[in-house]
Amino acid sequence: MSSTTAPLRRDDEPAAPRRSGIWNRQLPHYPENGPRSIYLGITVLATVVLYYELYVGGSVATRIIADLGFSFTFYVFVSVIGNLVGAFASLFAGLADRWGRANLVVYGLLLTGLITLFGLPHAPNKGTFTVLFAILSFVEGVVLVATPALIRDFSPQVGRGVAMGFWTLGPVLGSLVVTLVSSNTLDTHDNWRFQFYVCGIAGLVVFVIAFFGLKELSPALRDQLMVSMRDRALIEARAAGIDPEKALKGHWRQMLRFDVIGSAFAISVFLLLYYILVGFTVVYFATVYGYTEQQANSLANWYWITNAIALVVTGVLTDRFRVRKPFMIVGALIGLVGSILFALSATDEQSYHTIAFYFVLAAAGGGMAYVAWMASFTETVERHNPAATATGLAVWGWTLRIVVTVSLAVFTLVVPATSILVDKAPAIQEMQADHPEEFEVITNVDQDLVANVQADPTDADSLGRLLGQVAAVEGADADTVQSIESVSEEVVTAQAIDPDTLAALQADSGDATAIGEALGQIQENLDVDSATALERLIAVGSADQDALAAAAEAGATLQAAPAVFSQEQLDNLAANGQEVADAVEDNPGQWQTWWWVCIAGQIVFIPFVFVMAGRWSPRRARQDEQVHEEKVQRELAALRGES
């Protein structure tokens, strides 16, 4: 909505403040729609790139972990530390009500761009990486409270839904940019640092745009409640008589209300699914579904694109119908359906496109609820004190980050199998990729049988069963396996005979010299008398020769398989193989437990909708707007009379 009403100027109105250099970005008058849209656009662009910088590591998490020597748990705690630092940075951002918002955003973009481009990709070790990420998170915690405050300042309540729809695009488009860039560049640029280079350059470009283009309202203008653009004349007329310091008196106490804190907590637990997907989509699909990084990021695109569309469309609809609460409830219910189906798929593997459908449902519902909540929350804050908008958003930012911090710490306890798979499975997976047939042999035979045969090569029962297992791994049918097990005694006897002697007997069973040598070797190697040696040699000659040949082939395979691996690889497999195998089995169920925790958070969100500002009925909301319009006109008439 627009207004052509000329701004009123009272005789005692002070002259507009003079802009002094690059620090003073305050506007003395409320901007027209054109410039206002530019300021809103720059703020949204800044939000997108800030979230891009915060989330870019998630797309290459497994490579960072391997390259810098992180354990998975340690890497998760990098995010825990970052969110904890960001939580208190958000409280610091409450100073935006006194210091303004624009400079926090502009110079925050400069610092985060430098850290992303030069700091993180050149971190020499995991300690430096952790410290730099904490600094990045601190700056993000400040700036990402200042940006929604700017959005609120430049958007009256009637258009707040659309404005917040575009602002909430920030984290979603940031996530989408991460997955789009990574899924299209990892094939050609497999070094994880390349993702940070692209992100850092984008951040510095947006810094330049914001440096020259971003402005903010003066305190006297932004400290007032603005319902529609028709309030513009009244807002400017009132501004001369507003003392910003007085308007902010007791602002923290005014924000420590149940409707502010409770709704901030509710949206924080509602977004648990979102935050885990942001940081660990690649890890989840790699460890549960065996997807590559490209496949996982490509699948995540379905979530982010749907979420982005839902945010904008819902923002328009909430403004069209003048209500937020019904959209929060409907969105939460749709999101619950998608989230429950997604949780069930953890232990009941589904196709790529089936999971994409679940993502579409969860993202559409989540986006609908979140954008309606964001608009309603700023209106809830304004209900207490419009001048304390940044303070209210600081309470929200602190609550959100504390909830995420605690949830990430708990997350590592709920999914311990993932830590094992990320930390210990890669070396074993490399063995499998390099020598798949040999790996199948050494990992699919009973290690107790191997130990028995190594301890006593004459243990016919263990040897027969072991060779039968090898044959089965190589694809032999049940009859062949059974025939190998049935000639186990003969196999032991054959192994006691020198290969050259055995070959001579196979060529000529009546070779007296070979027979004599064979009998002596059987007596010596099996510690039996001459009569027993003769019986055993005869048994070898009368046994099923096909079964003996199959057993000999399985024996050769069993001996050759370990030889393709280094002793270090075999020792690692012996030490960690069973633990990794158990983790593979346990991991889907543990992730499913965590998804149920996220779903519980979405359920908790629903009752808190009822404490927030706003109507349920579009008709009642329009009546409120009409009452407000009449009040504005009366006050404007009174001010004109006074002038």
pLDDT in tens, 246-267: 544 655 677 788 989 999 999 9
pLDDT: is 66 or 263 the higher one? 263
Helix, strand, coil % (nearest 5) of the chain? 80, 0, 20
- Mean pLDDT (whole number) for 506-521: 85
Q: Is residue 270 part of a domain?
A: yes
Q: Are residues 528 and 604 in the same domain?
A: no
Q: Are residues 356 and 499 in the same domain?
A: no
Residue among 152, 224, 158 nearest 626 (CA): 158
Listed ranges 49-58, 179-188, 329-338; the one with the highest mean pLDDT: 329-338
Q: Are residues 124 and 196 in the same domain?
A: yes
Could you give the CA distance from residue 335 to residue 368 in angstroms, rounded to a whole number? 9
pLDDT: is 47 or 223 the higher one? 47
Q: Is residue 407 part of a domain?
A: yes
Confidence of residue 136 (pLDDT cuts 50, 70, 90): very high
Cα torsion for 621, 622, 625, 626, to the nearest 10°? Answer: -140
Query: Would you state the pLDDT for residue 11?
Result: 41
Average pLDDT of every residue of the chain: 83
Query: Would you state the pLDDT for residue 6?
Result: 37
- Mean pLDDT (whole number) for 310-335: 92
Q: Is residue 454 part of a domain?
A: no
Query: Would you state the pLDDT for residue 2?
Result: 34
Residue among 98, 27, 84 nearest 391 (CA): 98
Q: Are residues 212 and 93 in the same domain?
A: yes
DSSP summary character for residue 8: P
**pLDDT tens across 562-581, in order?**
899 999 988 888 888 889 88
Q: Is residue 59 part of a domain?
A: yes
Q: Is residue 481 part of a domain?
A: no
Alpha helices in 545-566 (DSSP H): 545-560
Sign of the alpha-carbon dihedral angle for 287, 288, 289, 293: negative
Confidence of residue 627 (pLDDT cuts 50, 70, 90): confident
Confidence of residue 129 (pLDDT cuts 50, 70, 90): very high
Tell me the residue length of the chain.
643
Per-residue CA distances from 440 to 87, 250, 470, 473, 580 (Å):
49, 70, 9, 7, 15
Residue among 2, 39, 1, 629 nearest 320 (CA): 1
19: pLDDT strictly greater than 50: no
Confidence of residue 334 (pLDDT cuts 50, 70, 90): very high
pLDDT: is 499 or 229 the higher one? 499
- Mean pLDDT (whole number) for 520-524: 88
The angle, 0 to 180 degrees and rounded to 10, between the axes of the packed helices 33-55 and 160-167 is 30
Q: Are residues 497 and 408 in the same domain?
A: no
Q: Are residues 421 and 527 in the same domain?
A: no
Domain total of the chain: 2
Q: Is residue 629 part of a domain?
A: no
Query: Would you state the pLDDT for residue 256?
Result: 83
3-state SS assignment for residue 580: helix
- What's the pTM? 0.75
Containing structural domain, residue 232: 32-425+593-611
Sign of the alpha-carbon dihedral angle for 70, 71, 72, 76: negative
- Mean pLDDT (whole number) for 112-119: 95
Q: Are residues 194 and 309 in the same domain?
A: yes
Q: Are residues 215 and 360 in the same domain?
A: yes
Q: Are residues 535 and 604 in the same domain?
A: no
Could you give the CA distance from residue 365 to residue 37 in angstroms, rounded to a whole number? 27
Query: Would you state the pLDDT for residue 16?
Result: 41
Query: Would you state the pLDDT for residue 356?
Result: 95
For the stretch 65-102, what's the b/e string if a residue is b when 16 or more beta carbons lie within 10 angstroms of its beta carbon? Answer: beebebebbbbbbbbbbbbbbbbebbbbbbbbbeebbb
